[in-house]
Amino acid sequence: MPITLEEAKLYLRIDNSLEDALITRLIQTSITIVENVLRHPISDYEVLPDDIKMAILYGVAYLFENRETADFHEMIKLMRALLIPYRKEVF
């Protein structure tokens, strides 16, 4: 997994284990969203670029903090901006 539970909890500033299962699912969801924006799997990278790691962490934080009112359109727009250099163009 490119982002560990511990990394995500540090980014979210969470120091307990009450929501570990939720955060783990949010990591997986964020990875899926990032891969969809990239149009290729992150496993294509031998070393995952920091920008992609940040996009995953951003997705985790956004989904965690906005679990009731998430605006996926806004989240995807920011992810596209972060990931455009790595995005595979499809014609």
pLDDT at 39 over 70: yes
pLDDT at 22: 96
Q: Is the pTM of this model over 0.85?
A: yes
| Segment 73-87 mean pLDDT | 92
Give the per-residue SS3 of the chain: CCCCHHHHHHHHCCCCCCCHHHHHHHHHHHHHHHHHHHCCCHHHCCCCCHHHHHHHHHHHHHHHHCCCCCCHHHHHHHHHHHHHHHCCCCC
